[in-house]
Amino acid sequence: MSHLPGTDTITSSLAKILRNTEIFSGDIPKTTVFRVDGKLLLVYRADYTAYDSDLLDG
pLDDT digits (tens, 9 = 90+) for 3-44: 555 556 666 776 777 778 888 888 888 888 888 888 998 888
Please report whether residue 31 resides in a domain. yes
Domain residues for the domain of 26 are 21-47
- In this structure, what is the dihedral angle of CA atoms 17, 18, 20, 24, given to the nearest 10 degrees? 130
Question: Looking at the domain assignment, is residue 36 inside a domain?
Answer: yes
Question: Tell me, what's the pLDDT at 30?
Answer: 86
Reference 21, options 43, 41, 37, 42; nearest CA is 37
CA distance 6 to 12: 10
Total count of domains within the chain: 1
- How far is it between the farthest Cα atoms of the chain? 48
Cα 1 to chain centroid distance, Å, stands at 25
Residue 15: its pLDDT value, please?
72
Residue 5 included in any domain:
no
Q: Judge if pTM exceeds 0.85.
A: no
